[in-house]
Structure 1
Amino acid sequence: MEPSRDGAKADAESAERVLREDPVMAELLDKHDPYTESNWTEYERLCISIINQQLSTASAAAVKERVFALLGEVTPETVLDAGEADLRDAGLSRTKVEYLKNAARAFRRNDFTAEGLAAHSNEEVVDALTEIKGVGDWTARMYLLFVLEREDILPLGDLAVRRGIQQLYGDGEELTREEMREIGERWRPYRSVATRYIWAEYESE
């Protein structure tokens, strides 16, 4: 069941109240609006995460644009029907072509929609998704954050998140992941929301 507008508003207000207790995060809340992404389907979002693997933000955006233009409607069926040469001409490596097709077959077999995974814990979702060759822990946690909209995900496997935290909380000096987790404790139970603001600040530099 979709959350009511009043419920969503209450969640947003609760998240802002918690995050504003952190002075650094309070500044980011006043500076950015990180909720401007298109309303992608579950499979489109997974494709975007696979495309983004090990690419800069600009490169990933360019490749995504070409691949999505090639496919028109991005579904498991259109990906499986697409020729490898055409997908490679759009900018995908041979490996990523394989990964997108693996994900397409998995989506045909299983219900990976938000509704289908609603009763599953975060770790159960990660376990299920990482059974797909080409979907690692980072991609699975992007799915938790962006598709399932789980509120308390801190994806320290993401380089931009780590660098963003270091810039904001360590004056650019290297921090251990344990130190980053300690910083993130102040954002519970809305670490996903905080992560979006960290990304927004990092990408604005």
Structure 2
Amino acid sequence: MTTIRDMTDIEKGLTHLVAHDPRLEAIVAVSGTIPLRLSEPGFASLAAIIVSQMVSKASAAAIWSRIAAHGPITPATYLAIAPEIAATFGLSRAKAQTLSGLAQAIVEDRVDLGALLDMPPDEAMAAMTALPGIGPWTAEVYLMLCGGHRDVFPSGDVALQAAVAHAFALERRPSARQLRQMATIWSPWRSVAARLFWAYYATHMRRDALPTR
């Protein structure tokens, strides 16, 4: 399975995208440098993705700093945090349950987040979304940003929907289903297309580019 590992892969993907969809040339021109955005696989990175859902970048950073204040973010250390302390982190009840359930599943060897990244995307998605609280957006962003999967496009991401609508002067923001269909033209480099539109969202629309569900 071909994966994204460095900026050479990003450039290769952009070249392919512009060649197959000339509309993207103008978007590349105004989006600045397209960031690599790769993180180490594992609990900490997936937990950070979960924390970032549906909150601002500043809020996610504040929550993360409270969690990190209790030591390295591993499944065991997270589970060792007293409930009354965890309640001060600012997590919603659903996110708190998701993080605890994920940490417990890893400790009990019911899931291996590293091994998931070696699976074909469809199998990895199915395995991840079988975990309580892990939806398609979370799984897709993890595969993209921790596994380097090159052909994943989280169409449920609000920032991507807004960026595509703005870039293509659409009358309204596309739904997740509509955007998923639109993104088929960008295969097999849909993960680079997603990075491009996040960069467009940040630089051209002057908005926070943290992936948001």
* TM-score normalized with structure 2 length: 0.79
Confirm or deny: 8 A CA contact 2:67 2:89 kept in the other structure. yes
Q: Is the 8 A contact 2:4 2:10 kept in 1?
A: no
How many Å separate the matches in 2 of 1:50 and 1:34? 23
- Quote the Cα distance in structure 2 between the aligned partners of 1:178 and 1:169: 17
- Give deviations 1:93-113, integer Å, cap 9, x for gaps: 233222111111222212211
Q: CA deviation at 1:188?
A: 1.7
Tell me which residue corresponds to 2:18: 20
Distance 1:10 1:59, change over 3 A: closer
Matches within 5 A, 1:11-160: 11-21=9-19, 22-30=21-29, 31-35=31-35, 37=37, 39-68=39-68, 70-108=69-107, 109=109, 110-113=111-114, 116-160=115-159
Q: Is the 8 A contact 2:75 2:104 kept in 1?
A: yes
> Cα 1:144–1:111, aligned 2, differ >3 Å: closer, same or farther?
same
Counterpart CA distance in 2 for 1:4 and 1:158 is 20
Contact 1:151–1:189 (CA<8 Å) still a contact in 2? yes
CA shift in 2, pair 1:12/1:132, >3 Å = same
Contact 1:15 1:193 in 2 (8 A): yes
CA distance in structure 1 between the partners assigned to 2:82 and 2:32 by the alignment: 40
Residues in 2 aligned to 1:198 and 1:71: alpha-carbon distance in whole angstroms: 35
User: Gaps (5+ residues) in structure 2?
Assistant: 207-213
| Distance in 1 separating the partners of 2:171 and 2:73 | 39
Instruction: Identify if the C-alpha distance between structure 1 residues 141 and 72 changes in structure 2 by more than 3 Å, giving closer, same or farther.
Output: same
* 1:34/1:82 CA distance change after superposition, 3 Å: farther
Deviations along 1:144-170, whole A, 9 cap, x unmatched? 111111101111111111111111113
Are the counterparts in 2 of residues 79 and 101 from structure 1 also a CA contact under 8 Å?
A: yes
Distance 1:138 1:203 in 2: 19
Q: Distance in 2 between matches of 1:78 and 1:132?
A: 20
Determine if contact 2:160/2:194 at 8 Å carries over to the other structure. yes
- Which segment is superposed worse, 34-43 or 186-195? 34-43
Q: Give the total of aligned pairs.
A: 200
CA distance in 1, matches of 2:60, 2:85: 17
Which residue of structure 2 aligns with residue 185 of structure 1? 184
**Where do 1:1-12 residues align within 5 Å?**
11-12=9-10
Higher RCO (C-alpha under 8 Å, 6+ residues apart):
2
**Per residue, is there more helix in 1 or in 2?**
1
Query: Shift of the alpha carbon at 1:128?
Result: 1.1
Query: In the alignment, is the contact (CA less than 8 A) between 1:153 and 1:191 conserved in 2?
Result: yes
Superposition RMSD in Å: 2.8
Change (3 A) 1:59 1:146: same
